[in-house]
Structure 1
Amino acid sequence: MNKNQQPKKEALYHKLLERQEEAKVIRKIVGIVALVLVLLIGGTALGGYFYVKSALKPVDPKDNKPVKVEIPIGSGVTSIGNILEESGIIKNSLVFKYFVKFNNESGFQAGAYDLTPSMTLNEIVTSLKSGKVMKDAEFTITVPEGYQLNQIADEIAKETPFKSKDIMEKLNNKEYLEQLSKKYPKLITKDLINNKKIKYPLEGYLYPATYPFYEKEPSLEEILDGMISQTNDVLAQFNASMMEKEMDSHKLLTFASLVEEEATKKADRGRIASVFYNRLEKEMPLQTDPTVLYALGKHKSRTVYDDLDVESPYNTYKVKGLPPGPIANAGITSIKAVLEPDHSEYLYFLASKDGTVHYSETLEEHNKKKAKYITNEKE
């Protein structure tokens, strides 16, 4: 090795040592940064866990002093949570909202409640659902399952100064519908309001339940909003199921209304829903009599052949698929039946006079049962 190469070799060696030292430093920095990030993320997650865990507990287990809490008519879960937090009954409204959602709770009732900071979330939810309030309601309005809009208007008119005609006008008022669309954009959609095939836009949207009212003369909007808000809250718990079935609120309420109207006390709604699904899959008309009666605007125990000729988008003997909208309101049992139908091969069903529903896979079998259970009964 000559003398000129020696210094170069030493210089390269020193540079190599320097790079190794730099690499060590960089690795240390990266390690420290990574450790800090892990600690931060872990700390945040751990902090969040303990925060939520704390928020699920009573505000003060030792404080049993009642607090007057007013839940207005039409209040949704979010607004109820805010009221409870502001009243010092719960720690966090957002945690309350997700507690309600994950437990599929619904059916909260308006009213003036006596609640305490020592109550658990389960106790609060139970109280709000059972309607255990400080004072008795001035009056109640009961909306039965399977009722149509004009029937509900009659029930409201019985308990209030409002006339059925005025109530129906309100329910079909374009300006009022637009207000509802802003308040419940996923439920009362623009397509619903503007669909000219739909007889009444809010048909099927007033949930069947008993509604207590604590004012002597609430406004008509307050009365109706409570019923629509209840529908919104009930359907919210089925969002995942609706997405799975590629079904929006309107389609679900429409389908459920057919099941509701066809079902008897002895009927298995899940099986009735399966018949409709099977017919839709085979592109067969649903041929359900209640849609014909809805098109005619009549209430009859039986349809006759002349009825089946009515020209209407609701006539499922002439138009394939679901009708353009609900033909009545539907209860929770019918809604669940549509989302969780039975698995069957049935394509036909009929109800005998005693309410028993008989199912068939073929038209021949159906006609035999029709002769046995329907024709013989008439004779």
Structure 2
Amino acid sequence: MPNKIRILAIFLDFLVIIALTFMFYLLLPVQTERIVNLPKGSLNKIITYLGENGQSLNPLDTYIIRMLGVPQSGYIDMKHEILPRGAYLKALVSSKAATKEVTLIPGETMYFFIRSLAQRFPLSVESLESAYDKYFPYPDGVIFPDTYKLPVGVDEDEMMKTLYDMSIKRHQQSAIELLGEYNEAEWFKYVSMASIVQKEAADNQEMPIVAAVIFNRIKIGMPLQMDGSLNYGPYSHSKVTPERIRNDDTPYNTYRNKGVPPYPAGSVSIQAIKSVLHPADVDYLYFVRDRASGKHKFSKTYGEHRSNF
């Protein structure tokens, strides 16, 4: 009998040690993003996604999550960036965040997109602009045109960091798919050129032809002289006047500066980027909009160009 009591006592001590160890484990701090975007799919897919983004979860974590429930896909607000592991695992399952949609159309500038964000959520324009400058490497053209579901309740810094993380990932994926590698400086040279194509072309079919005109003008040292580059920032919807051309001293003025501006002039679709990477095989130097069709008439010589007006 005493042996049985001793065995029972040892067993109970063992259970206490396990319980204390488990409690200690659940109290270990976990560093996380405040806003986490969980993919759709199975728990295994979510666990894999978290692991690929710096949150490796072991089999015990997976078991605990299964016991707590099923994580909901989409944006969730973890409330804090450092959580005890137990609270972190529970937050993955229970945290939810309402989202609102906001759309960035191809060719639109950050000046207007930021104001749409501020009105939609609502947030401060000035704080959004400051957060944009903090995270984004270029004043425009980094956020892909798309409809974004973004979390309600985050501040301006978190909003812009979320958009930055999504955007840079898309640029990296697109560059690797189209070029085989991602070199930020080289890639955004193409994006800058594509931003002019985006604003000048009447449709996707015209984009490779407009891109060819840009390359042809650069090849002979001719200024691009394209109004689309001057539709940057607050001038996205403004008609380019002779006065603007004379007085605008920014790098976007392709009438006064040769070559492509160092920064994109607005948001850029993947079609515009592809047109720059694969321009049409034509020797056009000029184009003018046909008022009847809304498309452009392209020409090789200035004389032909004048006759197209």
Please state if 1:169 is matched with 2:130: yes
Q: 1:158 aligns with which of 119, 122, 147?
A: 119
Letter paired with 1:218: V
Matched with 1:231 is: 167
Q: 2:139 aligns with which of 194, 202, 206?
A: 202
TM-score w.r.t. length of structure 1: 0.53
Letter paired with 1:365: E
Please state if 1:258 is matched with 2:196: yes
Unaligned runs of 5+ in 1: 1-64, 89-108, 113-134, 181-187, 189-200, 371-379
CA contact (8 A) 1:150 1:164 kept: no
Shift, 1:209, TM fit: 1.3
**CA distance 1:87–1:258, change in 2 (3 Å):** farther
Matched with 2:302 is: 363
CA contact (8 A) 1:266 1:356 kept: no
**CA distance 1:255–1:344, change in 2 (3 Å):** same
CA contact (8 A) 2:231 2:238 kept: no
Please state if 1:270 is matched with 2:231: no
Give the structure with the larger strand fraction: 2
CA contact (8 A) 1:286 1:317 kept: yes
**CA distance 1:300–1:224, change in 2 (3 Å):** closer
Matched with 1:67 is: 43
SS at match of 1:284: coil
Unaligned runs of 5+ in 2: 1-40, 64-72, 77-95
CA contact (8 A) 2:106 2:267 kept: yes
Q: Give me the CA root mean square deviation.
A: 3.7
Matches within 5 A, 1:82-231: 110-111=74-75, 138-172=99-133, 176-177=134-135, 188=137, 201-213=138-150, 215-231=151-167
The count of aligned residue pairs is: 236
Matched with 1:317 is: 255
Shift, 1:325, TM fit: 0.8
**CA distance 1:78–1:270, change in 2 (3 Å):** farther
Larger RCO (CA within 8 A; separation ≥ 6): 2
Shift, 1:242, TM fit: 4.6
CA contact (8 A) 1:141 1:210 kept: yes
Matched with 2:289 is: 351
Matched with 2:18 is: none
In structure 2, how many angstroms separate the alpha carbons of the residues matched to 1:69 and 1:209? Answer: 24
In structure 2, how many angstroms separate the alpha carbons of the residues matched to 1:76 and 1:316? Answer: 45
In structure 1, how many angstroms separate the alpha carbons of the residues matched to 2:200 and 2:127? Answer: 30
Letter paired with 2:264: P
- Give deviations 1:344-365, integer Å, cap 9, x for gaps: 1111112223421211111111
SS at match of 1:287: coil
Matches within 5 A, 1:239-318: 239=176, 241-242=178-179, 248-265=186-203, 267-294=205-232, 297-300=234-237, 302-310=239-247, 311-318=249-256
Which protein shows a greater Rg? 1
Give me the identity figure in percent.
24
Deviates more, 1:276-285 or 1:256-265: 256-265
- Give deviations 1:303-332, integer Å, cap 9, x for gaps: 332322122222101110011211101011
